[in-house]
Structure 1
Amino acid sequence: MDNAGLPQRLTKELTELFQQHLSKAHSKTRVTSNAISIKTQKYRVQSLIAGFRELRKGGFALQSPWNLSEKHIGYLVNLWVSEKEQAPGTVENKLTYWRTLAVWMKKHQLVGTVDDYIKRPDGYRRYYIAQEDKSWEAANVDVNDVIARLCDCDRWVAMQVELQATFGLRAQESMLLRPLQCLRVSGHLHVIDGTKGGRPRLIPIDAEWQYEVIIRAARLSNPRTGSMIPDPWSLKKWYRHFYHVLQKEGITRSAKGITVHGLRHAYLQRMYEAVTGVPAPIKRADHRPDPELHQAAMQRLVEAAGHSLAAKATAYISTFATVERLSRPVVSPEQVIAAVVAARGVKSEAAKSLKISRQALYRILAKCQAPTDAAFTKVAPRDATPLDPAPLDAFPIDATPTDGAPCPLDASAVLRPIGQAATGQMLLLDDGWD
């Protein structure tokens, strides 16, 4: 903290807060009451200090953490999202650290969500339920072929990738795994080192070929430490080397649309199918499994993945409801307006032609530009006889509104008292449009 580059008072008071609260968990869903990991504590300190530096660089002369207010958080969110263009997950994590600091200072309502400070860019959202299949199979990448190519570059990297594909390990878990020490007579692999939150777990060994992978890994393990990191590498240096080798082989999101973490997704997806007999939801199965089998699979998944809540499994396999929603057609406001005009204002028919619900159609219409009374008078109901001697100009059935045209339907206009309704609106009311 002495080298934080912050004012003396700010540094002193932050240090006092860290000493009192840093090891305490912030999550309300955390199962264990143990102190958080040293890594998480480190990230908290680094993120908060960096944030205070950004505030001071932006012109906020904060002298104490107790001076923190909503305008400061708003400035940081705008800086991270709009100027630095940081990923949604990164911003959400940073807000969690600031929310934790606010709780330490008894300012529980100080830090809101991203939406409280800015309008999110399109698609800028962190999803906790899988929206796409991140397995290598979905990207048409052959795991065995990649492992064979990695063997020519680095046998240890190749072995660790194979361990991740075989047992759904995280990258660091595969590096620190001690194959012989972790093997259990119960037919499980006991993963201890490198786990998230230091939570050990048992991974079932269901096939003979998985034992063969463990034996080959044991032959490559470090004779001094027992781990999969060869001498003289440290964990930090090996971590960088591991991803450097993968990058050279094109195993990146930018090159092939995959990451090594996708092997973990594939492992858990296969486990779900083995238990239920139905492909994971993200695979877009044509039917759902038995509910009891589904619950059993979800529980087995979270145990094998090292999580505490069954809901965490959806980050890997998604849910049937989410996949069904993503499969629905994307309908633009222009398409909705054209469909309503073609259906002569009957929204139920317009929704049916677009293959969406009427509620969805209403939501899209609500986003349209506010209509005028003239827009209503241009749409004549079927078989209607105008009350006004002057005939109404009706839209042709095949008419397509131009870009920027006002939405021809508006709930506020339809609900106007009958005595105040325009001629064209009176016709709409008389005809019983829905």
Structure 2
Amino acid sequence: MGIRIDYRGKIRSYGFPKRLESELIALFEDNVDRIHSQTRRSRNALSVKTQEYRLVGVCAAIRELRGEGGYAIESPWSIRHKHVTWLVTYWVKKGQTGGTIENKLTYLRATAHWMGKPNLVLTLERYVDRKAAGLKRHYTAQEDLSWSGKGIDIDVEIRRIEAEDAIAGLQLRLMWKFGLRVEEAFKFRPTQDLRDGAIFVSEGSKGGRSRPVPITRPKEQYDLLVAAAGFKNSRTGSTIPDAHSYDSWSNHFYELVAKHGVTKEGRLGRTPHGLRHEYMQGLYTDVTGELAPIKDGSRRVDREVHREGQRRVAEAAGHSRVSKANAYLSTYATQEVKRRLVISPTQAAQAVTEHGGNKSKAAIALGISRRALYRLLERYESGDQS
């Protein structure tokens, strides 16, 4: 059995009726660290953080049913399809994203399995039309979320934060130079996780998946690891300061970066996670010698070279499928569609003229395929010159 959270105390903090409270405690006592996902590669017990997300997600949903929903839920076994349907409708109205709602349904689905009700919680598509509700989820990058994609001088901005808190700045650099998630950067152990020319990320990773991240730029990466070793926690070896728990440091970190505009709505318009995109795109360039499609989709690399770049990025990101790399890199096809939408038939005809009638060269100059160019020219010749 792995480490468990104080589920009794957390459930009691919601002020539920005694029967509901006791039955939830019994459910979590028997099942809280059970693995529900069928795709999770690690068979290790769930992390404390994952257990907490699951417990809070379930309790918050029940509180919403009893509060805003007006349902007198007295037992988790009383939850029916109509209750889940109401929750999804409520979450959509609140403007929550498809990913957030899917996560909440995952927590409820795990609980339903504990109760022997595997068909109680359906997929999001069974409750709502994703497209109509604006919940369509893209697994291929539609826009460049890296900091450089926003024209940000990364070093300058991190230095601003370092001037106020050196450790927070260091953690941002770990995200930038090794592609770590925020929690992974917090829990990274600089003197324990380096070996054989790579760092091995496990603490704080999704699903407990351990992965190697290669040292591809020795000078800057090793210098950063040396600096990180100077800040290691005396008990855990992580980069979370001795005076902080994970939660208190996380709160401090996010308040600090928000103060410096590192949010979607802030001055920079980018989050710390954008530094992970930065690293993955840079790794692709290191491997292939070319920019990622999201950076310059008009210049295609050899198919096998591109595939190797995807594979290396997926491995460094901790994903089992090569296609997952597209979340950071995008694809040539996606970028071509975006360019085609902004190229008018008139511009296509002008490009052909400028290249002496050579349609292949005109297509390359426009960053689209010849087939796309022909379609634009057909529109031009039919009189559609917009």
When normalised by structure 2's length, the TM-score is 0.77
Residue type of the alignment partner of 1:102? A
Unaligned 5+ runs, structure 1: 332-350, 359-396, 399-434
Q: Does 1:160 align with 2:166?
A: no
Residue type of the alignment partner of 2:341? P
When residues 262 and 352 of structure 1 are mapped into structure 2, their CA distance, relative to the original with a 3 A threshold, is: closer
**Following superposition of structure 1 onto structure 2, how do residues 112-261 of structure 1 map, counting pairs within 5 Å?**
112-119=122-129, 123-184=134-195, 186-207=196-217, 208-222=219-233, 226-255=237-266, 256-261=268-273
User: Of 26, 29, 46, which aligns to 1:36?
Assistant: 46
Whether contact under 8 Å (1:179, 1:214) holds in the other structure is yes
Residue type of the alignment partner of 1:275? V
Aligned residues: 339
Distance 1:352 1:199 in 2: 44
When residues 198 and 29 of structure 1 are mapped into structure 2, their CA distance, relative to the original with a 3 A threshold, is: closer
When residues 151 and 55 of structure 1 are mapped into structure 2, their CA distance, relative to the original with a 3 A threshold, is: closer
Distance 2:113 2:234 in 1: 47
Q: Does 1:274 align with 2:269?
A: no
Residue type of the alignment partner of 2:82? K
When residues 232 and 14 of structure 1 are mapped into structure 2, their CA distance, relative to the original with a 3 A threshold, is: closer
Residue type of the alignment partner of 1:171? V
Q: Does 1:6 align with 2:16?
A: yes
Whether contact under 8 Å (1:56, 1:62) holds in the other structure is yes
| Bigger radius of gyration among the two | 1
Residue type of the alignment partner of 1:72? H
Q: Does 1:308 align with 2:308?
A: no
Whether contact under 8 Å (1:229, 1:235) holds in the other structure is yes
When residues 165 and 356 of structure 1 are mapped into structure 2, their CA distance, relative to the original with a 3 A threshold, is: farther
Could you tell me how far 1:76 is from its partner in structure 2? 0.8
Residue type of the alignment partner of 2:302? D
- Report what 2:103 is aligned to: 93
Could you tell me how far 1:139 is from its partner in structure 2? 0.5
Distance 2:127 2:313 in 1: 37
User: Of 259, 272, 297, which aligns to 2:309?
Assistant: 297
Could you tell me how far 1:267 is from its partner in structure 2? 0.5
Cα distance per residue 1:324-366 (max 9 Å; x no partner):
33444289xxxxxxxxxxxxxxxxxxx99984999xxxxxxxx
Give the secondary-structure state (helix, strand or coil) at the position aligned to 1:81.
Answer: helix
Identity among equivalent positions (%) equals: 45
When residues 174 and 2 of structure 1 are mapped into structure 2, their CA distance, relative to the original with a 3 A threshold, is: closer
Could you tell me how far 1:171 is from its partner in structure 2? 1.9
Could you tell me how far 1:2 is from its partner in structure 2? 4.0
Which moved further from structure 2: 308-317 or 320-329?
A: 320-329
Whether contact under 8 Å (1:278, 1:285) holds in the other structure is no
Cα distance per residue 1:112-149 (max 9 Å; x no partner):
34443345556333333222110001101011111222
- Report what 1:70 is aligned to: 81
Higher relative contact order (CA 8 A, sep 6+): 2
Distance 2:335 2:113 in 1: 37
Distance 1:324 1:352 in 2: 11
Distance 2:201 2:90 in 1: 40
